[in-house]
Amino acid sequence: MNNTLTLLGLLSKEPSYGYDLKHSYDRYFGTQKALAFGQVYSTLARMVRDELIRALGEETGGGPDRKKYEVTPSGKARVRQWLFTPDVPSEALQSELFAKTVVALLIDDDADRLLDVQRSEHMARMRELTRLKKDADLLQVLMCDHGLFHIEADLRWIDLTMARLTQLKKELQSA
């Protein structure tokens, strides 16, 4: 996920302080890993430099001065460009698991065991995501569903590959 564009998108809703922006990010996207304040402020500084946002001024108070930011017209255009540029579905056709499977077969190791171990790990993650969905709000449910569907695809690949291991091993040995 591109944190810069996500923060710019959140800031497009309304002018905000860095502190509030960080909390909005964490609320929507940081359930697994919150964004560090330092990362927010360094990102805001780069966006000011790149003229995607501007500071509306500073407020003094009991603590450090607070800057409120708003998105510039070029920042709004950048958010719209980002929103409507489709993500390329998994550009990499060769995952780590794919590489491990081929190497296991090449060195005559136990590819069945490798895939079984990976299946167990995937199933554990599925159970964890399913538990997270219980009593969660819709945002959390949709995020978990996204992960679950990817895991289901991996599990289908594991099953299909296991059914083809003998054939794949023969092809690799004859190459």
* pLDDT tens digits, one per residue of 141-160: 999 999 999 999 999 999 99
Total number of domains constituting the chain: 2
Between the two ends of the chain, the Cα-to-Cα distance in Å is 39
Residues 100, 164: contact at Cβ < 8 Å?
no
Q: Is the pLDDT of residue 102 over 70?
A: yes
169 contact partners, CB below 8 Å, separation of at least 6: 105, 111
Mean pLDDT of 73-89: 90
Tokens of 169: 């091993």
Q: Is the pLDDT of residue 89 over 90?
A: no
d(CA 13, CA 88): 26
Enclosing domain of residue 123: 96-174
Going by pLDDT thresholds of 50, 70 and 90, the confidence category of residue 87 is confident
| Residue 59: φ, ψ to 5° | -115, 135
Q: Is the pLDDT of residue 107 over 60?
A: yes
Check residue 71 and give its pLDDT.
96
Going by pLDDT thresholds of 50, 70 and 90, the confidence category of residue 63 is low
Domain C-terminal end among 83, 118, 147: 83
Pairing of strands 16-17, 53-59: unpaired
- Pair (104, 168) in one structural domain: yes
d(CA 62, CA 51): 30
Q: Beta-strand (E) ranges in the chain? A: 16-17, 53-59, 66-71
**138 Cα distance to chain centroid:** 18
d(CA 161, CA 111): 10
Half-sphere exposure of 130 (CA within 13 A, CB side): 9
Q: Is the pLDDT of residue 62 over 60?
A: no
Please, which residues bridge with residue 42 across strands?
Answer: none
- Pair (62, 101) in one structural domain: no
Specify if 90 maps to a domain.
Answer: no
Specify if 25 maps to a domain.
Answer: yes
Going by pLDDT thresholds of 50, 70 and 90, the confidence category of residue 125 is very high
Specify if 155 maps to a domain.
Answer: yes
- Pair (50, 107) in one structural domain: no
Specify if 91 maps to a domain.
Answer: no
Higher pLDDT, 107 or 164: 164
d(CA 101, CA 162): 10
**Percentage above 70 pLDDT, the chain:** 93
Interaxial angle between packed helices 111-133 and 96-106, expressed in degrees from 0 to 180 and rounded to the nearest 10 = 160
Identify the weakest region by mean pLDDT among 1-5, 34-38, 58-62, 126-130.
58-62
Check residue 92 and give its pLDDT.
64
**Nearest to residue 79, comparing CAs of 20, 25, 10?**
10
Check residue 144 and give its pLDDT.
94
Tokens of 56: 């509306």
- Pair (74, 110) in one structural domain: no
